[in-house]
Amino acid sequence: MTHILHIDASANTTTTSVSRAASAKLVADLGGTVTYRDLAQTPLPQIDGPWADARLTDPDTRSAEDAERLELSDEIVAEAAAADVIVIGTPIYNFAAPASLKAWMDLIARPRVTFRYSENGPEGLLTGKKAIIAVASGGVPVGSEMDFLSSHLRVFLGFIGITDVEFVAAKDIVPPLAA
């Protein structure tokens, strides 16, 4: 059975969120077991110096404090690793990803865990997965020169090993919702 990681990034948690409605429809159409993470309802912390140091510390020599700092990141990585398909519902805010989605990206990018550097350059370790991104663009055409979210997310997902990435305009999945 397909396991789906469903992520919503819109700060709009009401029934008027087009990206949330679109990602929910995608997940329902795919079917399978679902792990859900709402980045607005349970905000993720921004990374800081101690966290960045902890992620570079050899797991065998990490302190209890380092392990605690990485606990949420470990959980997020495990969710992505367990998924066959990752569905992300996100708006474009100010031409790019919402801060909540960027925080998720920062927490999941872990050397020796989700990527590694080899003699041939970076190698993603979360392979064999598909990502489908439902984008509510508010007038910025998805994939256009003004859409920095799509290119950033495609490069990022590829960096961690997810190269089968599909972007869908949320308005093509669900009709505009009344405010």
pLDDT tens digits along 8-44:
999 999 888 999 999 999 999 999 999 999 999 998 9
In a domain, 178, yes or no: no
Residue 177 lies in a domain: no
Q: CA 158 to CA 160: how far, in whole Å?
A: 5
156 in Cβ contact with 109 (< 8 Å): yes
pLDDT at 178: 55
Tokens encoding 164 = 């089968």
156 within domain boundaries: yes
pTM score: 0.94
Question: What are the Cα distances from residue 67, in Å, to 42, 57, 61, 96?
Answer: 21, 10, 10, 31
pLDDT value at position 101?
98
**Exposed/middle/buried for 125, CB within 10 Å: 0-12, 13-18, 19+?**
middle
Average pLDDT taken over every residue of the chain: 94
Is-contact 21 174, C-beta < 8 A? yes
91 exposure class (CB count in 10 Å sphere: 0-12, 13-18, 19+)? buried
Is 64 a domain residue? yes
CATH classification at residue 78: 3.40.50.360
Residue 119: count other Cβ atoms within 10 Å of its Cβ.
Answer: 5
Q: Answer yes or no: is 45 within a domain.
A: yes
Q: What integer is the mean pLDDT of 104-113?
A: 97
pLDDT of the residue at 88: 98
Tell me what pLDDT residue 177 has. Answer: 63
pLDDT band at 139 (very low <50, low <70, confident <90, very high): confident
How much is the pLDDT for 50? 96
Q: How confident is the model at residue 53 (pLDDT cuts 50, 70, 90)?
A: very high
Residue 179 lies in a domain: no
- Residue 155 belongs to some domain of the structure: yes
**Worst-scoring range by mean pLDDT, 38-52, 55-69, 131-145, 165-179?**
165-179
- Identify the domain containing residue 89 by its residue range: 3-172
Radius of gyration of the chain from its Cα atoms, rounded to whole angstroms: 16
Q: How many domains is the chain partitioned into structurally?
A: 1
